[in-house]
């Protein structure tokens, strides 16, 4: 059976898969700078006979690895980037490898490796059983800054894919049909004129005034937009010193909402407010569009397929040693944060889980119709091909997102368990899609129905280049 071959390959290569994940964990490179991680994963998959396209969509660290030919085409995604400031050793108390350095605080070392291992396992079974079709593994940079997949989708790299699988480390084994917020990320550069702020303020034009007026305008707008929208901003540059009227100021906005068209509506209003700020402060301004993304289009067919495979494989259980590690780490998580985290997760039975360390169940879909506040560029893929991003338990309950606790667990056996389980779920689900045309057709029919005739229009301008130097800016 193809599935047994794939699972057998993962079991035999367990140590090697973990080694790759741990290497990526050590590299811990920020978005668009994942040179070593990209090379690690792309070279590894190349040794298994995949054809490599490197540096795709204008990003040196993005790649596509393909094996096989013809239909169906199954995509698997793997993310590469780490987060700033969450460097941490694989120990249950806060102890950075390098203070303030990046770390895998979102577990993307596991994300990238589970996808790669799953894709190789699918290929191993396809080769041995001479199954028709193509498997593609996508090395996706800069998820945290919502860049990688948005540019890859815009440049057509997911065209012709029949369905796409993705795994994200989590504290639950779950493949839900919830969604995420669509978003725009944009900077406003305001220009004025310096003057002595006491001596001749009448000759000055304050760029900071424009930033403040814009913020005020947006805060008045808030009352009249849909409740579920989220608009947040930071003033990046507000001037030098009080006795000089600032000639330059800069503010950075995120606009989020459950549907892409709602983001566009609110964003258009924000642009008008920036024009208004110019009128009031007599400044001029430039808009720097950084990136945008869609809301996730869920797929019940894919959710059921993945959950079915999770149950068949069986979710990992934890050893005494891992329980001891978790107990120690639990001391760093205030009970109130754990409670609120569990409440927010809305997982079934959360009220009784306050004293529990792990959730080892495989959960039925409990997020149907719900929209998470965050945003992900996986969503953009979901508008061009049926897509699911499922979670496996790589962390203990109550682990805060983007934290040193995530980094720690992503580099030791608790994370490794979730990694191997996820690789198996990707392999078996991919093989189901390759070998069960009825299942794939149902998934695609559902996707068409949810699209309801809407066509994906890239949220980023056609000529926008990936912000390769964004992380080096002031
Ligand atoms: Zn993530």
* Contact indicator for 166, 378 with CB cutoff of 8 Å: yes
**Cα 374 to averaged position of ligand 1 atoms, centre (Å):** 10
CA 58 distance to own-chain centroid? 19
Q: Ligand 1: distance of its center to the CA of 348 in Å?
A: 23
What's the CA gap between 189 and 288, in Å, rounded? 8
Residue 105 Cα to ligand 1 middle (Å): 8
Give the Å distance between the CA of 107 and the centre of ligand 1: 6
Residues of the chain with pLDDT under 70: 470-474
- 81 C-alpha to ligand 1 centroid (Å): 9
The predicted structure's pLDDT at residue 472: 56
What's residue 474's pLDDT? 42
Count the residues in the chain. Answer: 474
Question: Taking the model in full, what pTM does it have?
Answer: 0.94
Contacts of 127 (CB under 8 A, 6+ apart): 49
**Token couple for 288:** 């720097």
Strands 163-170 and 73-79: parallel
First to last CA, the chain: 55
CA of residue 301 relative to chain centroid, distance: 22
CA angle 372, 373, 374 (to 5 degrees): 95
Q: What is the pLDDT of residue 125?
A: 98
Residue 172 and residue 358: Cα distance in Å, rounded?
A: 8
> What is the spatial distance between Cα 420 and Cα 410, in angstroms, rounded to a whole number?
12
CA of 140 to the centre of ligand 1 (A): 12
Residues bordering ligand 1, an ion, CB closer than 5 Å: 106
Rg of the chain (C-alpha set): 23
The residue to which tokens 């959960």 are assigned: 363
The rounded Å distance from CA 319 to ligand 1 centre is: 26
- Measured in Å, residue 204 CA sits from the centre of ligand 1 at 45
Distance 158 CA to ligand 1 centre (A): 20
* C-beta separation of 161 from 469 below 8 A: no
Give residue 231 CA to ligand 1 midpoint distance, Å. Answer: 21
Cα of 383 vs centre of ligand 1, distance in Å, is 19
Centre of ligand 1 to C-alpha 409, Å, is 14
């Amino acid at each position: 059976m193809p599935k047994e071959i794939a699972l057998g390959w993962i079991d035999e290569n367990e140590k090697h898969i973990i080694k790759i994940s741990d290497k990526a964990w050590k590299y811990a490179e920020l978005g668009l700078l994942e040179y070593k991680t990209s090379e690690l994963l792309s070279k590894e998959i190349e040794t298994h006979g995949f054809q490599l396209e490197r540096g795709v969509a204008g990003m040196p660290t993005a790649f596509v690895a393909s094996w096989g030919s013809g239909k169906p085409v199954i995509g698997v995604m793997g993310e590469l980037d780490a987060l700033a400031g969450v460097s941490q050793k694989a120990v249950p108390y806060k102890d950075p490898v390098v203070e303030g350095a990046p770390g895998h605080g979102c577990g993307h070392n596991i994300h990238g490796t589970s996808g790669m291992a799953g894709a190789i396992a699918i290929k191993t079974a396809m080769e041995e059983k001479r199954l028709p079709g193509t498997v593609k593994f996508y090395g996706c940079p800069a998820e945290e800054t919502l860049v990688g997949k948005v540019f890859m989708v815009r440049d057509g790299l997911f065209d012709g894919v029949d369905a796409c699988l993705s795994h994200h480390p989590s504290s639950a084994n779950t493949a839900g049909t919830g969604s995420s917020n669509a978003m725009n990320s944009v900077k406003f550069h305001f220009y004025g004129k310096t003057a002595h702020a006491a001596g001749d303020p009448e000759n000055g034009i304050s760029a900071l005034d424009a930033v403040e007026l814009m913020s005020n305008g947006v805060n008045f707008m808030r009352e009249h937009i849909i409740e579920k929208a989220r608009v947040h901003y930071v003033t990046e540059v507000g001037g030098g010193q009080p006795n000089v009227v600032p000639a330059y100021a800069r503010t950075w906005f995120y606009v989020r909402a459950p549907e892409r068209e709602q983001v566009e509506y609110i964003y258009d209003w924000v642009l008008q407010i920036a024009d208004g700020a110019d009128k009031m402060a007599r400044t001029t301004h430039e808009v720097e569009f950084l990136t945008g993304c869609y809301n996730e289009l869920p797929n019940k067919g894919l959710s059921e397929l993945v959950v079915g495979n999770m149950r068949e494989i069986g979710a990992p259980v934890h050893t005494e040693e891992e329980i001891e590690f978790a107990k120690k780490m639990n001391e760093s998580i205030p009970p109130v944060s754990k409670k609120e985290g569990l409440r927010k997760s809305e997982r079934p039975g959360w009220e009784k889980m306050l004293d529990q360390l792990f959730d080892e169940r495989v959960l039925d879909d409990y997020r149907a119709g719900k929209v998470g506040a965050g945003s992900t560029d996986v969503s953009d893929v979901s508008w061009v091909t049926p897509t699911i991003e499922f979670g496996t338990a790589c962390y203990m309950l109550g682990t805060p997102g983007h934290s040193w606790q995530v980094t720690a667990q992503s580099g030791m056996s608790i994370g490794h368990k979730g990694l191997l389980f996820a690789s198996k779920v990707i392999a078996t689900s991919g093989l189901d899609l390759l070998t069960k045309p009825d299942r794939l057709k149902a998934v695609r029919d559902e996707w068409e129905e949810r699209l309801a005739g809407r066509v994906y229009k890239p949220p980023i301008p056609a000529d926008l280049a990936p912000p390769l130097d964004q992380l080096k800016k002031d």
